[in-house]
């Protein structure tokens, strides 16, 4: 009896300390300067890849998300649609860039690849903090409409930069949680 | 009712025209500016939401000849080409305004004419933002000196409020030299370091910050005038200055009071009184020195030495005492040896006889002699020649020019001189009369010669001993030497400006028989010029 209660107490303490399971809700990050930091790094990667032509050329196709933002169309969409578009696009982008990690590339390319992967993960955290719904894998057959093909690494990083500056940023700017505090 | 409707329609139409014209002005100005600054063939910019691309062509062309296409994300679309005539530069441009501009994606733009591609360009629309200038610029003077509060509103644009960067330019009214301040996001700025009571012009322009959107600088706003406040004395500084001044005053007062006595002594020294040396003189005897002396005679005598002045006693040597039986008095004369150097000017005028000279009691006898001489004047030259080496007198500088002046004292000098020489010719030197006469004359001449003043205060003829009939008196100025001389010295009245009063008296020879032996040698010591 005594041993059981003691073990139970120790277990509680350990669990409390590690806190497994769902993480506690994050404080909303509405400041766009956080996202601007990632965007600036994406700019640097794009510029570096544009400059690096020979060492960074890979004869493979990448599936990347669409980055176009039509303001009229965008304004007409609701938050869930926007969220879905952004989250799926981040997913696709993550996979495309992540495919470069496996291959042995130059140090410059590897550093930018790693930075981009890390940034995408951080952006997901930021979106989570403002209560943007998580990515839900769509039913099969819906991916092709929202993706495109690129054939070079420089184009890949260009898409990466455009996506962050466009859709992700406008989604964050229009997050309801952030707008509630302002108004 | 119909009338009201028509009126409303008219108003709306006018407003639309106005709006379009204003917008058109902005559009035209932007086109004109890019036409000037941009080097690409196809110049593009985004105004509000739509991308406009234009190019310059010959005037004869028509818009219909051109085909404008743009493609993105594997889609190709066409755009209607229009023409625009710029009045300012007298140029014509063809442009196309994309109806639904896709942002954040790569656009490929192509212009072709007659199916022949003229220009092409690949760009992202969000990188060519050309904003309108900021609105409602206001400049107000802040409460502080040399500051101005500048505030404005961003241009009307929906998604870019937090990603704009502003440039504020300000300059003194009438001056072309302006300063520029860059400010991010915020729409107000405080200008610092301005001159007080001065009018300033302020301009503002805007541009995307370059993170999410990029673009060109907007046009400057219209200048707005602001006046800075006139300079005032900061009350805090005044208070501090007063406070520090007060503290300094207190410190100085404290120092002065603590060293009051010392300072008073330095600034206002006490007049020394001899009370200390004369105890009781002023208190007991009330200044009656006689009484005090009589009382303190014995005790004070020793101290009297200290009371006297610090002057050293001048050695006084009586050369001769002649008892004049006829005149009954022996005189004790003070004679000052006079020396003179030819090199030094003795231009000091005769200031008259020194007061110490006593009136010779034989003055009336002297006058008789003078009268005798006057009746029988002898040439001076003869008289001046030294007929005897014993007695001669050099006269002072007043005897100048032709010789005898009309000055009485000079005349007096000459007459006794003659008398002297006449008496010197007699072999006998023991005549009291001659001696007396010479003495008298010598006294007179000595007196007279004493008129000459010489500037050798420190140069005294040292007494050479009893054999030398001279007298040395060390005092402030005049010194006379009566050393007997044997060498011939020419002395002429009035001939030379400088004279040596080398007086040689027979009496001295008589008095000191040894002096005759010494005369020759004594003459060696004679000072003065040798002509």
* Residue A60 counted as domain residue: yes
Across the interface, whether the CB atoms of B105 and A167 are under 8 A apart is answered no
Query: Which residues of chain B have a CB within 8 Å of the CB of A66?
Result: 73, 105
Nearest to A68 among B105, B159, B211 (CB): B105
Can you read off the two tokens belonging to residue B392? Answer: 């001669």
CA dist A26 and A50 (Å) reads: 37
In this predicted model, what pLDDT tens digit does every residue of B271-325 receive, in sequence order?
887 777 877 788 887 878 888 888 776 555 555 445 555 566 666 666 666 655 5
CA dist B163 and B212 (Å) reads: 8
In this predicted model, what pLDDT tens digit does every residue of B398-443 receive, in sequence order?
444 444 444 444 444 444 444 444 444 444 444 444 444 444 444 4
Query: Which residues of chain A have a CB within 8 Å of the CB of B158?
Result: 71
CATH number at residue A77: 1.20.1250.10
CA dist B216 and B167 (Å) reads: 12
* Residue A98 counted as domain residue: yes
* Residue A3 counted as domain residue: no
Place of tokens 């009589």: B294
* Residue A87 counted as domain residue: yes
Closest CA to B491 of B282, B340, B377: B340
Residue B456 burial by Cβ neighbours in a 10 Å radius (0-12, 13-18, 19+): middle
Polymer length in residues for chain A: 183
In this predicted model, what pLDDT tens digit does every residue of B322-377 receive, in sequence order?
655 544 444 444 444 444 444 444 444 444 444 444 445 556 666 776 677 666 65
A→B interface, C-beta within 8 Å: 32, 36, 39-40, 66-73, 148, 158, 162-163, 165-167, 169-170, 173
Q: How far does A93 lie from chain B, in Å, by closest CA?
A: 15
Rounded to two decimals, what is the model's pTM? 0.55
Across the interface, whether the CB atoms of A66 and B73 are under 8 A apart is answered yes
* Residue A11 counted as domain residue: no
* Residue A169 counted as domain residue: yes
What domains are there in chain B, each with its CATH number?
34-127 (2.60.40.10), 135-227 (2.60.40.10)
Strand-pair partners of B45: B52
The widest CA-to-CA distance across chain B, in whole angstroms, is: 171
Task: Provide the domain limits for residue A167.
Answer: 28-174
Would you state the pLDDT for residue B145? 85
* Residue A13 counted as domain residue: no
Instruction: Give the strand pairing for B215-216 and B129-130.
Output: parallel
In this predicted model, what pLDDT tens digit does every residue of A23-39 receive, in sequence order?
566 688 888 889 999 99
Across the interface, whether the CB atoms of B126 and A165 are under 8 A apart is answered yes
Q: How far does B133 lie from chain A, in Å, by closest CA?
A: 22
Instruction: Give the strand pairing for B224-227 and B199-208.
Output: antiparallel
Q: How far does B129 lie from chain A, in Å, by closest CA?
A: 14
Place of tokens 């502080």: B144
Contact B130, B216 (CB under 8 A): yes
Would you state the pLDDT for residue B316? 67
Across the interface, whether the CB atoms of B103 and A32 are under 8 A apart is answered no
* Residue A102 counted as domain residue: yes
B127 reaches A (C-beta below 8 A): no
Closest CA to B103 of A73, A76, A57: A73
Query: Which residues of chain B have a CB within 8 Å of the CB of A47?
Result: none
Query: Which residues of chain A have a CB within 8 Å of the CB of B163?
Result: 32, 36
Domain count, chain A: 1
């Amino acid at each position: 009896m005594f041993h059981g209660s003691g073990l139970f107490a120790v277990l509680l303490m350990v669990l409390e300390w590690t806190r497994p399971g769902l993480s506690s809700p994050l404080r909303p990050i509405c400041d766009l300067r956080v996202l601007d930091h990632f965007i600036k790094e994406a700019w640097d990667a794009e510029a570096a890849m544009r400059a690096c032509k020979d060492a960074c050329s890979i004869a493979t196709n990448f599936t990347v998300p669409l980055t176009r933002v039509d303001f009229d169309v965008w304004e007409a969409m609701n938050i869930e649609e926007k969220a879905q578009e952004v989250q799926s696009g981040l997913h696709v982008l993550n996979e495309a860039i992540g495919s470069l990690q496996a291959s042995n590339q130059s140090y410059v390319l590897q550093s930018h690849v790693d930075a981009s992967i890390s940034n995408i993960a951080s952006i997901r955290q930021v979106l989570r903090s403002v209560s943007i719904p998580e990515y839900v894998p769509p039913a099969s057959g819906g991916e092709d409409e929202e993706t495109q093909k690129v054939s070079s690494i420089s184009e890949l990083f260009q898409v990466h930069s455009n996506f962050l500056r466009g859709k992700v940023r406008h989604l964050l700017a229009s997050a309801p949680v952030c707008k509630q505090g302002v108004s | 009712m119909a009338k009201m409707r028509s009126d409303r329609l008219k108003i709306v139409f006018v407003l639309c025209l106005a709006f379009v014209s204003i917008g058109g002005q902005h559009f035209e100005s932007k086109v004109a500016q890019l036409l000037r600054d941009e080097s690409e063939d196809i110049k593009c910019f985004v105004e509000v939401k739509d991308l406009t691309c234009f190019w310059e062509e010959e005037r004869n062309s028509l818009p219909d000849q051109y085909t404008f296409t743009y493609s993105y994300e594997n889609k190709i679309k066409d755009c209607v080409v229009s023409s625009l005539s710029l009045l300012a530069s007298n140029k014509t441009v063809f442009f196309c305004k994309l109806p639904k501009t896709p942002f954040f994606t790569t656009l490929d733009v192509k212009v072709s004419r007659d199916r022949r591609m003229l220009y092409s360009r690949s760009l992202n629309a969000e990188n060519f933002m050309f904003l309108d200038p900021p609105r409602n610029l206001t400049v107000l003077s802040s409460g502080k000196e040399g500051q101005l509060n500048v505030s404005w509103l961003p241009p009307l644009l929906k998604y870019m409020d937090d990603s704009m960067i502003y440039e504020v330019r300000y300059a003194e009214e009438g001056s072309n030299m302006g300063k520029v301040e860059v400010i991010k996001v915020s729409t107000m700025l405080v200008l610092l370091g301005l001159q007080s009571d001065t009018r300033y012009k302020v301009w503002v322009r805007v541009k995307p910050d370059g993170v999410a959107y990029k673009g060109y600088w907007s046009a400057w706003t219209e200048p707005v005038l602001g006046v800075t406040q006139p300079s005032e004395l900061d009350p805090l500084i005044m208070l501090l200055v007063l406070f520090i001044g007060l503290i300094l005053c207190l410190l100085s007062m404290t120092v002065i009071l603590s060293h009051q006595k010392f300072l008073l002594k330095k600034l206002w020294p006490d007049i020394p009184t001899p009370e200390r040396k004369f105890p009781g003189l002023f208190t007991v005897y009330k200044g009656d020195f006689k009484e005090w002396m009589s009382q303190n005679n014995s005790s004070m005598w020793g101290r009297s030495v200290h009371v006297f002045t610090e002057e050293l006693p001048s050695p006084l040597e009586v050369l001769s005492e002649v008892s004049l039986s006829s005149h009954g008095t022996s005189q004790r004369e003070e004679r000052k040896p006079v020396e003179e150097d030819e090199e030094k000017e003795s231009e000091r005028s005769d200031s008259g006889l020194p007061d110490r000279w006593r009136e010779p009691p034989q003055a009336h006898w002297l006058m008789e002699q003078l009268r005798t001489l006057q009746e029988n004047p002898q040439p001076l030259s003869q008289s001046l020649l030294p007929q005897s080496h014993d007695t001669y007198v050099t006269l002072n500088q007043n005897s100048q020019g032709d010789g005898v002046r009309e000055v009485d004292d000079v005349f007096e000098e000459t007459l006794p001189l003659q008398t002297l020489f006449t008496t010197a010719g007699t072999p006998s030197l023991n005549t009291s009369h001659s001696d007396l006469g010479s003495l008298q004359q010598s006294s007179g001449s000595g007196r007279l010669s004493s008129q000459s003043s010489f500037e050798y205060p420190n140069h005294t003829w040292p007494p050479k001993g009893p054999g030398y009939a001279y007298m040395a008196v060390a005092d402030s100025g005049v010194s006379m030497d009566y050393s007997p001389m044997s060498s011939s010295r020419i002395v002429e009245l009035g001939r030379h400006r400088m004279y040596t009063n080398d007086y040689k008296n027979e009496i001295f020879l008589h008095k000191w028989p040894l002096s005759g032996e010494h005369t020759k040698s004594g003459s060696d010591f004679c000072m003065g010029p040798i002509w």
